[in-house]
Each structure stands twice: as structure tokens, then as C-alpha cells.
Amino acid sequence: MSENDQDDGPTPAAAGNAASALPGTPADARAGFVALIGVPNAGKSTLLNNLVGTKVSIVSRKVQTTRALVRGIFIEGSAQVVLVDTPGIFAPKRRLDRAMVHSAWSGAADADAVCLLVDARKGVDAEVEAVLGRLGEVRREKLLILNKIDLIPRERLLDLAAKLNAASPFAETFMISALNGSGVDDLRRALAARMPAGPWLYPEDQVSDAPLRMLAAEITREKIYDRLHEELPYRSTVETDQWQVRSDGSVRIEQTIFVERESQRSIVLGKGGQTIRSIGQAARIEIAEAADAKVHLFLHVKVRENWADDPARYREMGLEFPRG
């Protein structure tokens, strides 16, 4: 099996054209896309993973961890729902920021339905107001999801829901906890009911359209977030350079962590290489689970000044390179 055979899934168009051959597709099949939008740290990635039933998007306490559109897939009854976890919407300052925000709004514009996820603890702040101000431009059915409801009193939830619906009327409002799953089943059924009639876009057992090599890079990037609390994670990126399936069924993976300065490289390596070993060990366990194979992971750290201004890095992340 070649590297491309190992990790490249079908595109929606290709899958759709062959839908009649997809096993398990019912006669009354429905399928479509749902975009999850919101400000950073609203819980979109946690909700995506909960709805899909497995990890397809990285989760971190740090904001702006999702950089590109991450798609997760679940089936409810005869409906196949493709969820698009978008980067958090915020006021962009750098070129990478602008690319992430553009990616988020483009994901909303292309979906069959749009879900605005709001952290109920924070309520309506300036960032949420900015999203509400632009949400009217999106000509799709919109649903409101209040997340982290287990952390605030119910009367505050009702007031918040009323305030948000007054600002931008939503077709339906859901109150959930993405972390513990409260209310998520009702949301899953509601999203499935909104999907248009049509053949399934992906095989029944596929949970994401991200190639394994991209997911592997994202897992390693998450472990960098977990272990380093400086500004560094925002100035680093990870690329999978090699994905080699060996004769014994194991996978040899080589990845490069790019940073912008030699001082950052020293931080990632750690004293005596302890930090990079810790990152690699944690990433290898999760990558092996995703690949369903034994993994040999080799990490390299390289300095590439101004990588955030390199169009090739944006293509690797699935982002459009913003000019100017």
C-alpha cells in the first residue's frame, strides 16, 4: 500500500458520484454539511468530537487552536451529517489570523445549516457581538447552541437565549454541555433532520475527511499546546513529511515542527531533549489509535523565519493564503 493509498480519503464529489455503491446507504438517504462557528474557546472542537463519537479535532484550553476547516462525519438514522469545525472568529492581527477568520466564514457560507456556539459562562461579549453583526450575511438556516450550561444557573441561560435571539433570530436554540454530553443527543437528531435528501457523501464507517497524515500533524501540535504555555504554540506549525507503512504493518512517521527563532527551537527541545520526547510519546499514542497500527514517530524541530508568511505552509494547513 502506498502512502497516498494509506491516508487519502475520497472527496465529497468523488464519494457522491459513487454513492450507489456505498454499502449501507438507505433508499431514503439524506446528507449535508453543518458549520460550527463561534469565538475562540467556545467549545466547537469538543462538540465536534462528541457528535462524531471519536477525536477528529484537537482540543486545548488555549484559544485559536483550530486553524483550518476540520470535517467530522456522523450518521443519525438515514442522514449523514458532515460537521465543519471552523477556526474561532476573532479580530485578526496577523496574516495567519486573517486566513483563519476567512476560512471560518467561508465554511459557514458553504454549509446547509450554521450553528453558532456560545460559551454560556461568558455570554454576549464584544467578540460575540461582532459575530452576530456579520451572521445576517450568511444565507443559511441558523441554530443557536449555548454550551457549558452545567456551569451557570438556568435563569441566566434563559435570559441569554432571549438576548441572542433578539439580536439575530435563530430557527432553534439548544442548551448543551459538549464536555459531558448533556443535550447533545437532541442536537444530533435536529441536525440530521435538517439534511437535504441525497446520497451519502462518505462510506458509512468514515468519521473524518482529513487524511491521516494531516490528523497526525494536528495531534502533535495539540501536544505542543499541552506542554508549552508560552506564546510559542501560536508561532509553530507541524508537518508530516513521511508516512511509510512497513512490512510488519507498523507505520514510520517523520514530522517537522517549524518555529521562527532558535530560542523557540530550544524551548521545544527542552533540557536534554526532555520536552520533545514528552511531546513525541504523547503524540505517538494518539496517532497509533487513529491509524489503528503501531507507530514509530520521529520529530524534528527546524527554524524557519517568518513561516507564517510562506504560502506553502498555508497550503499544508488547508488555508487560503491572504495577499497583502
Q: Which residues are annotated as a binding site?
A: 38-45, 85-89, 147-150
Measured at the CA of 22, the angle between CA 17 and CA 24, to 5 degrees, comes to 140
Inter-residue contact 299 to 255 (CB < 8 Å): yes
Annotated binding site for GTP: 38-45, 85-89, 147-150
- pLDDT at residue 57, rounded to an integer: 65
Q: Helix or strand or coil: residue 60?
A: coil
Bigger pLDDT: 129 or 89? 129
Question: In the chain, pLDDT over 70 holds for what percent of residues?
Answer: 72
Highest mean pLDDT: which of 39-43, 130-134, 295-299, 315-319?
295-299
Q: Who has greater pLDDT, 13 or 202?
A: 202
User: What stretches of 88-137 show up as alpha helix (H) in DSSP?
Assistant: 95-109, 126-135
Question: Considering the chain, what percentage of its residues have pLDDT values greater than 90?
Answer: 34
Give the pLDDT confidence of 37-51 residue by residue, as tens digits.
888 788 888 898 899
pTM over 0.75: no
Query: pLDDT per residue over 221-269, tens digit each?
Result: 888 888 886 545 556 788 888 888 888 989 899 999 988 888 889 989 9
Residue 72 pairs in a beta bridge with: 83, 208
Average pLDDT over residues 114-142: 87
